[in-house]
Amino acid sequence: MYSVFPTTFPTNNTHRVVLFTPDRKAPDYKRIPELGADALAALRAALRRVPELSPEVARDLSEEIVALQVQLDQRTCINDTALAALGKCGERLTHLDRDDAADSFAGHLSEALTHATRAADLIAAHREFTQLRWHYT
């Protein structure tokens, strides 16, 4: 005699609900150390391009390159001295005749300046916010 209702149920037919969410990037204020590290990496990449620069460009930027190398050796890129060195080198580079190597150097330098400036701005904003919060409590 056969039963209308099965006594066992197959276990290979399961129903699963999967929710896919896009990867969310952490807010910038939580990424300050990462931004600083990215700035140092971009500065390191720029300084690796120095031997490829034309002699004229390398000679004209020699003081700035030494200042950037000092900042890299100290692993600083967010303080005022480092930001000034990055900005000064970028400014001087705009007035020189550039080739492909100089363009690559300028690109990495610009990336380093962007990351370092963003990290410095976030630190300054956090400092100001903390002072305001302390003042009004």
Please check whether residue 137 lies inside any domain of the structure. no
- Counting residues of the chain whose pLDDT is more than 90, the rounded percentage is 64
Q: Is the pLDDT of residue 12 over 90?
A: no
The CATH code of the domain that includes 106 is 1.20.120
Query: What is the tally of structural domains in the chain?
Result: 1
Whether 136 maps to a domain, the answer reads: no
- Tokens coding 84: 């000034």
In this structure, is residue 116 part of a structural domain?
yes
Please report how the helices 80-94 and 62-73 are oriented relative to each other, as an axis angle in degrees rounded to 10: 150
Residue 132 pLDDT > 70: yes
Rounded-to-5 percentages of helix, strand, coil across the chain: 65, 0, 35
Q: Which of 6-10, 19-23, 57-61, 83-87 has the lowest mean pLDDT?
A: 6-10
Residue with tokens 């056969």: 2
Residue 134 lies in a domain: no
5 belongs to a structural domain: no
| Tens digit of each residue's pLDDT (9 = 90 or more) over 46-84 | 999 999 999 999 999 999 999 999 999 999 999 999 999
Residue 107 domain-assigned?
A: yes
Domain of 110 in residue numbering reads as 29-125
Question: Binning pLDDT at 50, 70 and 90, where does residue 6 land?
Answer: low
Asked if residue 103 is part of any domain, the answer here is yes
Q: Which residues of 34-61 are buried (b: 16+ CB within 10 A; e: fewer)?
A: ebbebbbebbebbbebbeebeeebbebb
List, for residues 100-117, the tens digit of each pLDDT value: 999 999 999 999 999 999
